Amino acid sequence: MTRYWLFKSEPKVFSIDDLARRPHKTAPWDGVRNYQVRNMLRDEIKVGDLVFFYHSNANPPGIVGLMKVVKAGYPEPNQDRPVWFQVDVEWQKKFSSMITLDEIKQNPLLQTMLVAKRGNRLSITPVSSEESKAILKMSA
Partner DNA sequence: GCCAACGTTGGC
Please pick, from the candidates 98, 115, 127, 135, the single residue that binds DNA as defined by CB under 7 A. 115
Report the site for DNA in 56-75 (rule: CB under 7 A).
56-61
Q: Binding segment for DNA among 21-29, 50-58, 72-80, 86-94 (CB under 7 A)?
A: 50-58
Q: Whole-angstrom Cα distance, residue 108 to residue 75?
A: 38
Contact 49, 5 (CB under 8 A): yes
Please pick, from the candidates 10, 17, 18, 130, the single residue that binds DNA as defined by CB under 7 A. 10
Q: Binding segment for DNA among 17-25, 40-48, 114-122, 128-136 (CB under 7 A)?
A: 114-122
Q: Whole-angstrom Cα distance, residue 20 to residue 53?
A: 12
- At residue 16, φ and ψ (nearest 5 deg) are -65, -30
Between 70 and 116, whose beta carbon lies closer to DNA?
116
Q: Whole-angstrom Cα distance, residue 86 to residue 107?
A: 31
Q: Whole-angstrom Cα distance, residue 110 to residue 133?
A: 10
CB of 11 to DNA, least distance (A): 10
Residue 102 as a binder of DNA (CB under 7 A): the answer is: yes
Nearest-10 Cα torsion for 49, 17, 118, 121: 70
Report the site for DNA in 30-49 (rule: CB under 7 A).
33-36
Distance of CA 17 to the CA centre of its chain: 14
CB of 90 to DNA, least distance (A): 22
Please report, as ranges, the residues that interact with DNA according to CB under 7 A: 8, 10, 33-36, 56-61, 101-102, 115, 118-123
